[in-house]
Structure 1
Amino acid sequence: MPDTLEQRLMACTLCHGEQGRSTNEGYFPRIAGKPAGYLYNQLLHFKEGRRNNPGMTSLLDHLGEDYLRDIAGYFGGLDLPYPPPQTPVASAQELDHGRALVREGDPSRELPACAACHGEALTGRQPDIPGLLGLPRDYLLGQLGAWQTGLRKAYAPDCMAHIAKRLTPRDVAAVTSWLAAQPLPSDTHPAEALTKPLPLRCGDGQAGGADASQEVRR
């Protein structure tokens, strides 16, 4: 059997699903088709302990940065169908609250709209802002909780931690319920990179900023 990158990365599919496409249930995110820059940043975060997952850290500990870029590029280049959205488990009022936060934010609490960073279609932006659709609600809940408690971190300034810590439990339930129930648009690819600054400065493009690349390796 040939020793190819695709064959080596079959280990990733044990958790993330066939070809990294995952499902609409559980705690494992889809990695197929996400911006390669985002995937690379997350691999570094796992390896260097900013994301708390002993299994991922042990898998990546001996891998060099060039190999991590190869992994990110492979999964980022896959163009595969998404699973159907989850059936909503929230009330209409809760879903509307989630929609408002995602689409409009809450300026009174310094909460930008999710769409302002992750794209109007919520499919992410090149080169390193992830999409928010096609992900299980349990995974979304887990990640917002990790930002709030410090189990998940990024290079400073950590804009997602800033946002997550301003969300109430009701906000988190509403946003995750609404996102998980949304169908994918006809074009599921990440949008092109913005040419103007985003609402918050971020250290590794997690929710962008015109100066993000200057912050990564300070």
Structure 2
Amino acid sequence: MAEAAPARRRIGRRPATDGVSTQERILEVAGQVFADHGFVAASLREIAEGADVTQALIIYYFGSKQRLFETLFKRRGLEVSRQRQELLDALLARADPPTARELVSAYLRPQFALRGADPGSRAFVRMQARLHHEPDALALRLRGEVYDHATRNYIAALERAVPGLNTANAHWRMMFAVGTYLYMLSGFDRLAELSDGRFNTEDTEEVVRRLTDFLVAGITAPGG
């Protein structure tokens, strides 16, 4: 009697472990690799080895390294934008109009909440900090698709909330705010070094409070 032919596995697939699906395992490992090296320097080989799958399986699920990167970035980034919009909608639904401080705080908090979340969220924070080193076309498109809608709504709300804030200043000052908070999220700030260890950015609540103070002062400053 002839022996039965062995069952074929799908392209390079290895069984999931610990209840985590293969796709989720790939995404978890890819997030750490992209956070460590950036999009350009990251390799599918390193991701495949870390996830215990073949490179062919990564291509099967995600199509390419760029699409894998975009999937990761959009999954976390769109959630940040959704939370921002929900907070803004709640402020605008009140009888009393929101203050500049309330708007700035609502804009910042979904991003800074990621600092104390799961490893995948913290990896996303580092991916985001590296985005300005990535190819311009990729970085600009991702920022636009993920963040522009909610950010434009916050700019409009700030223009209404701050007396005398014209459209030009509202846009300029929001861009300065975005650059400042991204730097503070990057993990590369030099506060401890410059203060000889007297101050640091480990306490997220303190970072958000002090950053909000600074940004509100800049956004509401006269002139411009």
Task: Work out which of the two has the higher radius of gyration on C-alpha atoms and give 1 or 2.
Answer: 2
Given the two structures, how large is their TM-score scaled by the length of structure 1? 0.28
Given the two structures, how large is their TM-score scaled by the length of structure 2? 0.27
